[in-house]
Amino acid sequence: AQSVSQHNHHVILSEAASLELGCNYSYGGTVNLFWYVQYPGQHLQLLLKYFSGDPLVKGIKGFEAEFIKSKFSFNLRKPSVQWSDTAEYFCAVTGYSSASKIIFGSGTRLSIRP
Amino acid sequence: EAQVTQNPRYLITVTGKKLTVTCSQNMNHEYMSWYRQDPGLGLRQIYYSMNVEVTDKGDVPEGYKVSRKEKRNFPLILESPSPNQTSLYFCASSLTNTDTQYFGPGTRLTVL
């Protein structure tokens, strides 16, 4: 079955701490991977995406993610979080075909203590 | 301004009363989706459309219908809403399924 697992439901960190949010997927064939963020009161927006090539992908606001094919993972990282990173983060996967579904994870709520 | 719009933003209705949530995008995108967001479950794709007149079921299509008669519009129809369809609904569009999705502001639906 196609699925995305985000095991961390709620993460609480202090400012300047390092962040790693887990994402594991199950999806047949070649995949494309995404991280989206939902800041309080705002639309969902793209943080970064992986299609092919370098498995280390850099996104906006200092975020990066690493695609590890053997582990079916696409973890999100940031070396030093800020209070403004408080948001909900969603990992998503889709297939190579234009007729593919898009599967989202259940989300991780990140709270940053100032 | 490039955007996805949804209407209404908030809706309270009663069981069985047919409703339509509209979605429109002005970016000439081919791929459009409807999602519902529920606590602890994240976003789940209800239906998607690869282009005009082509739609397919997502993971949770039961109780919903869609149509894609024009590229810009992708309405979500609940023929006979039930309380378990109380949720936050998002429409999104992208060039293809592998491109960045642009999300609408959401429609909060309550079915009594």
Distances (CA, A) of B46 to A26, B17, B52, B76, B91: 19, 20, 17, 9, 10
Q: Mean pLDDT, chain B, as a whole number?
A: 95
Task: Kindly state the percentage of chain A with pLDDT values over 70.
Answer: 100
Q: Which residues of chain B have a CB within 8 Å of the CB of A34?
A: 100-101
Q: What is the pLDDT of residues A81-114, one digit of tens each?
A: 999 999 999 999 998 887 788 999 999 999 999 8
Which residue of A lies nearest to B34 if distances are taken between CA atoms?
A102
Q: Which residues of chain B have a CB within 8 Å of the CB of A105?
A: 42
Q: How confident is the model at residue B92 (pLDDT cuts 50, 70, 90)?
A: very high
Q: Cα–Cα distance between B14 and A67 in angstroms, integer?
A: 45
Q: What is the pLDDT of residues B24-37, one digit of tens each?
A: 999 999 999 999 99
**Where in A2-79 does DSSP place strands (E)?**
3-5, 10-14, 19-21, 24-26, 31-38, 44-50, 56-58, 64-68, 73-78
Please indicate whether, in this complex, the C-beta atoms of B97 and A94 are within 8 angstroms of each other.
Answer: yes
Between strands A108-113 and A10-14, the pairing is: parallel
Please indicate whether, in this complex, the C-beta atoms of A104 and B100 are within 8 angstroms of each other.
Answer: no
